């Protein structure tokens, strides 16, 4: 029934895997950066990402209400300026929020045990989930958001649904896929350059290696940590817009699974390593798509986590995590 060597199918699944993987990778960067600096698994990161998508939904609704975009044209014509604005605004929103979270929840516990910080992170995660639930209940007339707070919401298509490979083609590639690459790849390159070549980036690497030593060298460690949270949050916020646009769904619970996938990606690639998180994200996206196609979606989670276990057995620090790893 299912031809194993159908190249069209393979190509399509590779494309889907890459698109999904890019989004996961972008979220994973937030986990890995924070872990690299203060060895905290920021459980609230996935939920922060969720809140970003709610802001995106609200802004799209507002744009519709103000007549800036025509709801009837959603999915037909592309609204590049809106998408671009959303990526920046939601990125800044999530970055700022992450900064506040660090300031109010994690900073007071910086000298406490790692476990206290972890529990604080879980607490923040719960708070944000409930904020999302509340936000979902707010009346957003155009989008029909009001009433059922917990229901998944339909996110309108901001870019055209037309198949770029031609309507007859089996493989579907739309601007939705292109947008992901166009936004994600420059962000990743930018981050890598930032960490490698700027003064703040250098300070980040120094803090990751040894916070006390960095402080003795005159690095303002608290500022560095704050910057890390802000950048990680920004990437999560940008990812949230891509996610909402790609899946056209926003739900208060989406942060849990997205966070889980991203965290797994970060561990897979070697937590603390930037290229590791990117590689891990892509790998998880690809493995998911391949497993859905060739193994059965019932087994996809089993496949992903078996892979994680296997890799951790043979490389306990993850794929690109070194013992003396360059952490950020």
Site for another protein in 56-115 (CB under 8 A): 75
What gap in Å lies between CA 22 and CA 150, rounded to an integer? 27
CB of 61 to another protein, least distance (A): 13
Taking residues 158 to 177 in sequence order and writing x for each that binds another protein by CB under 8 A, - otherwise, the string is ---x-x---x--x-x-x-x-
What gap in Å lies between CA 95 and CA 262, rounded to an integer? 17
Among 39, 220, 292, 326, the residue binding another protein under the rule CB under 8 A is: 292
Find out whether 46 and 258 touch, Cβ atoms under 8 Å: yes
Q: Which residues contact 27 (CB under 8 A, 6 or more apart)?
A: 45, 46, 49, 235, 236, 239, 258, 259, 261, 262, 281
Q: Which DSSP string do the residues of 32-75 spell out, in sequence order?
A: HHHHHHH----TTHHHHHHHHHHHHHHHHHHHHHTTSS-GGGBT
Judged by CB under 8 A, which stretch of 1-9, 181-189, 270-278, 316-324 contacts another protein? 1-9
What gap in Å lies between CA 203 and CA 188, rounded to an integer? 19
Judged by CB under 8 A, which stretch of 90-98, 145-153, 210-218, 222-230 contacts another protein? 145-153
Site for another protein in 3-62 (CB under 8 A): 3, 6, 9, 12-13, 16-17, 20, 23
Site for another protein in 299-328 (CB under 8 A): 300-301
CB of 104 to another protein, least distance (A): 22
Q: Is the dihedral of CA 41, 278, 198, 85 positive or negative?
A: negative
Among 1, 66, 72, 216, the residue binding another protein under the rule CB under 8 A is: 1
CB of 150 to another protein, least distance (A): 5
CA–CA distances in Å: residue 52 to residues 34, 41, 44, 242, 309: 18, 20, 12, 10, 31
Residue ranges in contact with another protein by CB under 8 A: 1-3, 6, 9, 12-13, 16-17, 20, 23, 75, 129-130, 133, 144, 147-154, 156, 161, 163, 167, 170, 172, 174, 176, 243, 246-249, 251-254, 256-258, 261, 288-289, 292-293, 296-298, 300-301
């Amino acid at each position: 029934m299912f031809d194993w060597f159908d190249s069209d199918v393979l190509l399509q699944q590779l494309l889907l895997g890459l698109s999904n993987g890019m989004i996961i990778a972008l979220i994973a960067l937030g986990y890995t950066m924070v872990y690299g600096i203060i060895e905290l698994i920021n459980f609230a990161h996935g939920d922060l990402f969720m809140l970003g998508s709610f802001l995106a939904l609200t802004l799209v609704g507002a744009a519709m209400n103000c007549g800036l975009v025509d709801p009837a044209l959603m999915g037909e014509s592309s609204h590049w300026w809106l998408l671009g604005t959303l990526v920046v605004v939601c990125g800044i929103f999530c970055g700022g929020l992450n900064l506040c979270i660090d300031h109010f929840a994690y900073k007071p516990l910086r000298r406490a045990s790692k476990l206290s910080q972890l529990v604080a992170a879980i607490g923040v995660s719960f708070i944000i989930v409930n904020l999302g639930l509340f936000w979902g209940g707010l009346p957003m007339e155009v989008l029909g958001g009001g009433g059922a707070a917990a229901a998944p919401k339909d996110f309108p298509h901001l870019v055209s649904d037309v198949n770029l490979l031609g309507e007859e083609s089996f493989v579907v590639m739309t601007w939705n896929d292109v947008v992901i690459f166009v936004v994600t790849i420059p962000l990743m390159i930018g981050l890598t350059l930032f960490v490698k070549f700027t003064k703040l980036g250098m300070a980040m690497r120094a803090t990751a290696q040894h916070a006390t030593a960095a402080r003795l060298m005159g690095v303002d460690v608290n500022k560095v940590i704050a910057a890390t949270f802000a950048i990680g949050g920004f990437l999560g916020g940008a990812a949230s817009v891509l996610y909402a646009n790609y899946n056209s769904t926003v739900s208060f619970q989406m942060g849990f699974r997205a966070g889980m996938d991203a965290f797994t990606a970060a561990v897979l690639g070697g937590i603390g390593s930037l290229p590791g998180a990117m590689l891990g994200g892509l790998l998880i996206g690809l493995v998911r798509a391949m497993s859905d196609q060739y193994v059965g979606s019932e087994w996809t989670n089993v496949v992903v986590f078996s892979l994680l276990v296997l890799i951790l057995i043979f490389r306990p620090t993850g794929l690109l995590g070194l013992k003396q790893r360059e952490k950020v």
